[in-house]
Amino acid sequence: MDEPTATAMTFAPPDAYAPDGSWALEVTVQGTGFVERSLGLMALVGDVPVQYIMPVLDGAGFTGFLATAPNEGDALRFGYGAPNITTTLEYHAPTV
């Protein structure tokens, strides 16, 4: 089975329908190959775990929630069972 690839990552404030918790950000990752496997998908942005990961039905990515904002420039890592795939996608705080 081919490894998934992530091609884009965006951050937004969580909406009112976010799962239980006090979330700093909602993250959306786009890519390919994010299918259901026996080992669950895990992801980190820097050292911040992505929680409540919800894969997109067609395998084109996933969404999840961060309890705290990552550091500027922190990279996305993900994988099944362990976040062992490091990407070049980085967190950048919104400009105000």
Model confidence pLDDT, tens digit, residues 47-66: 999 999 999 989 999 999 99
User: What is the C-alpha separation between 48 and 85, in angstroms, rounded?
Assistant: 15
Q: Would you say the pTM of this structure is higher than 0.85?
A: yes
Confidence category of residue 1, pLDDT binned at 50, 70, 90 = low
d(CA 15, CA 66): 13
pLDDT tens digits, 12-29: 999 888 888 789 999 999
| 34 token code pair | 């994010």
Residue 26 token pair: 């909602």
Distance CA 14, CA 51 (A): 12
* Cβ pair 56, 96 in contact under 8 A: no
Q: DSSP states of 46-57 as a string?
A: TTEEPEEEEE-T
Contact partners, residue 95, CB within 8 Å, separation at least 6: none
